[in-house]
Amino acid sequence: MELEAPSTSTSNGYLILLQGLSLIPFWHYLLILTTVLIYFLYNFLEIHFLEDLFSGFSGSPVEFTFNSSSQLYHAVVSKCRILHSTYSVTPWLSSPHLQTVFLNFFGNPPVFKYKRQLFTTPDGGTLALDWVTSSDVSGNALNVDNVVTKDESTPIVILIPGLTSDSSSPYLKHLAYHTAKRGWKVVVSNHRGFGGVPITSDCFYNSGWTEDTRTVVNYLHKENPRAPLFVIGTSIGANILVKYLGEDGENTPVAGAVAVCSPWDLLIADRFISRARVQKFYDKALAGGLQDYAKLHQPHFSRLANWEGIEKSLSIREFDDYATRMVGKYETVDTYYRRCSSSTYVQSVSIPLLCISAVDDPVCTTEAIPWDECRANKNIVLATVKHGGHLAFFEGITASSLWWVRAANEFLDVLHSSHYMHEQKKISTPNTLLDSSIDQGPYINLTGDGMVAALNNEPTTDSQKKYR
Ligand SMILES: *[C@@H]1O[C@H](CO)[C@@H](O)[C@H](O)[C@H]1NC(C)=O
Ligand SMILES: *[C@@H]1O[C@H](CO)[C@@H](O)[C@H](O)[C@H]1NC(C)=O
């Protein structure tokens, strides 16, 4: 074999090569190494700074997916200037990973305080509703008597947080602050066990838990019958929102909604996040967040789930297997993912819904976006942007604002001044003597002046309460 007994001429060749290489100055090697490293990082982090530079930071346009006969698109979305301009990323954050990581570790959130309302659900659960009104963010602390908040027709925007987020998360603070700044009332509907409140019932929230959203929406509608209700869901909150809208169809007092960076299909999302090395980093980080949440409520999780399993969970899937599916009483994790995916509910959404997603979202993959279903439902407009990361979309040289926050607010503003806001329809009493076949569900009679009146005595769920 040649390797065992190299001929003298071969070893001489290597010797000469080695001598030659040793003549090259050390810093040249360093330079090559650095270049390779930068090239690797540039690709690994999906940095697009050079592309942005060559295009003069002109930004990426928004692509729309909608049914060609969608009034929502033609009458509302087409009038939204922000959606119809381009999104230019903050130059030093020109990577989905840099954006997402920066959002979660720094985020540049605005400074303000929420007013907390503790809300008890019919099953005894506790939710922290964190309110912000324009007087809280006007910077005018002495503004004692606020006229705007007293106006009964001021819209209320309900925010549903993502998986391990609550009202203190930077992206929700951006959203809450800027929405309140427009003069609207904002309330973050924190998930059970989040925002520092204890768990007080054996019902836990999960990615498909729509009951709390339904309860809060109906409660707020009952308390403020004249105020248009809007809902903005983010990430898992967007999945919950779309599932809720699909489940309830026409029978919701929500006038319009925005779903931002939804995972859509939890099964695909699960496969995606455990596939590539860079995604596993997010998987682990999110699992850590879930473990922190579980630790806050250890007695409950120890009793209802597998505590040892929770402690050693390194991925969302493991956590869901040892905790979420057990508490939620799903046979397997995949059953849980299948049942809780919002993509199957898209077809039943019956109110104006804008969906915003980034194509480079490193957590919620575009593979899961139900393009065809969105195209088939004329109540939905899907806006996708090439860059943005997960819930980030930073813009400006100081990364002081989030593009999707502005886009969502403008959409709701235009919708609010249009004729396309959803109104819960008046439905005739399910009177068997008359045409019972027409009545499909809602038990509410919306009269001409917008007041809601009670109609019958058969609420199927707690949410479908009668109004007096
Ligand atoms: C658009 O909606 C109509 C019904 O409203 C439907 O028949 C049609 O297939 C939809 N278009 C697409 C591309 O899905
Ligand atoms: C709804 O209520 C109004 C007044 O309360 C009543 O005049 C109207 O007939 C009701 N509509 C239906 C469909 O029952």
pTM to 2 decimal places:
0.84
Strands 452-454 and 380-385: unpaired
Find the helix or strand (DSSP H, E) in which 36 lies: helix 26-44
Residue 282 vs residues 90, 166, 258, 342, 385: alpha-carbon distances, Å = 22, 18, 24, 21, 21
Output the residue whose Cα is nearest ligand 2's atom 12. Answer: 428
CA–CA distance, 161 with 181 (Å, rounded to integer)? 19
Q: Tell me if 382 sits within 8 A of 153, measured CB to CB.
A: no
Q: Give ligand 2 pocket residues (Cβ under 6 A).
A: 426, 428, 445, 447, 453
Beta bridge partners of 383: 64, 356
Which ligand minimizes its atom distance to the CA of 71? 1
Who's near 196: CB < 8 A, 6+ residues apart? 128
The four Cα atoms 335, 341, 347, 353 give a dihedral, to 10 degrees, of 160
Ligand 1 pocket at CB < 6 A = 67, 69, 375-376, 378
Distance 139 CA to ligand 1 centre (A): 48
Q: What is the position in ligand 1's atom list of the atom closest to the CA of 67?
A: 1
Strand partners, 156: 185, 229
Of 199, 194, 140, the closest CA to residue 172 belongs to 194
Exposure letters 152-170 (e unless 16+ CB within 10 A, then b): eebbbbbbbbbbbbbbbbb
Q: Among all ligands shown, which has an atom nearest to the Cα of 372?
A: 1
Q: How far apart are CA 207 and CA 203, in angstroms?
A: 13
Ligand nearest, relative to CA of residue 456: 2
CA of 214 to the centre of ligand 1 (A): 29
**Ligand nearest to C-alpha 431:** 2
In angstroms, the CA 233 to CA 172 distance is 10
Residue closest via CA to ligand 1's atom 3 equals 376
78 is an active site residue: no
Kindly state the tokens that stand for 362: 């490193």
What is the distance between the alpha carbons of residues 65 and 372, in angstroms, rounded to a whole number? 9
Nearest CA to ligand 1 atom 4: 376
Any residues with CB less than 8 A from the CB of 258 and at least 6 apart, and which?
230, 231, 232, 233, 353, 354, 355, 356, 408, 411, 412
In this structure, the number of other CB atoms found within 10 A of the CB of residue 234 comes to 29
Mutation test residue for ligand 1: of 348, 375, 382, the one with most atoms within 8 Å of CB: 375
Structure tokens at 145: 């008597």
Query: How is 368-386 classified by DSSP, letter by letter?
Result: G--HHHHHH-TTEEEEEES
Model pLDDT, residue 150: 59
Amino acid letter for position 223: E
Marked catalytic residue, from 70, 134, 235, 463: 235
357: closest CA among 408, 285, 399? 408
**Closest ligand 2 atom to Cα of 428:** 13
CB of 114 within 8 A of CB of 131?
yes
Clarify whether 136 is annotated catalytic: no
Set 94, 315, 361, 463: catalytic member: 361
Residue 376 CB neighbour total at 10 angstroms: 12
Q: Could you give the dihedral angle defined by the CA atoms of residues 424, 426, 431 and 433, in that order, rounded to the nearest 10 degrees?
A: -140
Q: In Å, how far are 149, 165, 289, 399, 436 from 110, measured between CA atoms? A: 21, 16, 23, 12, 52
Tell me which residue of 345, 400, 328 sits closest to 233, measured CA to CA.
Answer: 345
126, 187, 196, 371, 400 from 114: Cα distances, Å: 17, 9, 13, 37, 20
Of all protein residues, the one whose alpha carbon is nearest to atom 2 of ligand 1 is 376
361 is catalytic: yes
Nearest CA to ligand 1 atom 5: 378
**Residue 451 alpha carbon, nearest atom of ligand 2:** 5
d(CA 259, CA 49): 28
Question: How far is ligand 1, taken at its centre, from the CA of residue 375, in Å?
Answer: 7
- Position 5 scores a pLDDT of 54
Q: What DSSP string describes 14-28? A: HHHHHHHHHHS-HHH
User: Ligand 2 pocket: which of 426, 434, 444, 456 to mutate (most atoms <8 Å of CB)?
Assistant: 426
Identify the pLDDT of residue 10.
73
Determine which residue's CA is closest to atom 14 belonging to ligand 1.
376
Q: What is the distance between the alpha carbons of residues 336 and 186, in angstroms, rounded to a whole number? A: 31
Domain boundaries along the sequence of the chain: 9-44, 61-281+331-467
In order of 36, 272, 274, 282, 356, the CA distances from 278 in angstroms are 19, 11, 9, 7, 23
CATH domain 61-281+331-467 topology: Rossmann fold (3.40.50)
446 in Cβ contact with 425 (< 8 Å): yes
pLDDT by residue, tens only, the chain of 468 residues: 455 555 567 778 899 999 999 999 999 999 999 999 999 999 999 999 999 999 999 999 999 999 999 999 999 999 999 999 999 999 999 999 999 999 999 999 999 999 999 999 999 999 999 999 988 888 654 444 444 445 789 999 999 999 999 999 999 999 999 999 999 999 999 999 999 999 999 999 999 999 999 999 999 999 999 999 999 999 999 999 999 999 999 999 999 999 999 999 999 999 999 998 899 999 999 999 999 999 999 999 999 999 999 999 999 999 999 999 999 999 999 999 999 999 999 999 999 999 999 999 999 999 999 999 999 999 999 999 999 999 999 999 999 999 999 999 999 999 999 999 999 886 544 444 443 333 333 344 344 443 333 333 333 344 433 333
- Name the residue at shortest CA distance from atom 11 of ligand 1: 376
The torsion angles phi and psi of 117, rounded to 5 degrees, stand at: -125, 125
